[in-house]
Amino acid sequence: MPAAERILLRPVTMGLLLQSLLLLLLLLLCCCLRPAAAFPKGCYPSEEEGLKTFRCSNARLTEVPRDIPNDTNKLYLDSNRIPFLPRDAFRDLPLLLELDLSHNAIASVESGAFRGLAEHLHSLDLSSNRLVSVSKDAFSNLKAKVNLSNNPWLCDCRLQELVRTVELVAGSSGGIVCDSSVQEEHVGKAFLQVIADTDFCNVYKKTTDIAMLVTMFGWFAMVISYLVYYVRQNQEDARRHLEYLKSLPSKQRRSEESSTISTVV
């Protein structure tokens, strides 16, 4: 190729190379920025001790974020304003090992909120929320160690069943205190201390049985009263009719007496 042609082609080649490099840089920037832009404000991914972590602490969240990477191992949603946990709130996080929901405003947990986490989750922190009563079904099949301390618990059969269903974090049981109770003398006491002497579910069962017995006795008394009234009323009607028959002429009286006797029998 003549030298003149090579000189002419050199700027064109350089221009193409520069364009390719610019396109490559733009693609890299897009790939790097796209995941970060999808995260809620105050949330960011990281890696801690070889585990993929997603932190949303103090992010002013009012619900569980939807755009959490599904390969997350540790999720921190602590110190936010989340009021409740809906069904399937974490169903897209099959590799989650630790879940921190402490210091929120959680007052209710729907059944199935932790569905999909039973196989891998080993730590669940629900301390310092607003939980008063939660069904044990919300934690069904969950093998994680759970922290339920520092909540305004109602001490009753429901809480007793919940505590016996989950495995509590070591040392956290003393923080489960009766903020209210079906028995006033238990308020302010540690729940495990209370159930050492009181079986709330047994008391509830006895109360239910007594209520059923009282209801059955009431119905039985009503039936007996009605039968007694019915018999007495019929006897009174029969007596009056016999007295009436006695006042009739003899032939008519005999025929009507026989019909009255047959009716009474």
Residue 265 has pLDDT above 50, yes or no: no
Residue 263 has pLDDT above 90, yes or no: no
> What is the pLDDT at residue 115?
93
Distance set, CA 196 to CA 19, 180, 186, 212 (Å): 76, 17, 12, 28
> What is the pLDDT at residue 224?
65
Give the pLDDT band (50/70/90) at residue 33.
Answer: very low
Q: How many alpha carbons fall within 13 Å on the CB side of residue 21?
A: 6
Q: Which residue has the higher pLDDT, 6 or 238?
A: 238
**Cα distance between residue 98 and residue 95, in whole Å:** 9
**pTM > 0.75: yes or no:** no
Distance set, CA 249 to CA 207, 254, 264 (Å): 65, 9, 22
State residue 23 phi and psi, 5-degree precision.
Answer: -60, -40
What number is the average pLDDT over the span 52-81? 96
What number is the average pLDDT over the span 93-99? 96
What number is the average pLDDT over the span 70-88? 97
Residue 168 has pLDDT above 80, yes or no: yes
> What is the pLDDT at residue 39?
84
**Sign of CA pseudo-dihedral 162, 164, 168, 171:** positive
Residue 66 has pLDDT above 50, yes or no: yes
CATH topology (fold) of 38-198: 3.80.10
Residues 6+ apart with CB under 8 A from 69: 35, 45, 52, 54
Q: Which residue has the higher pLDDT, 15 or 265?
A: 15
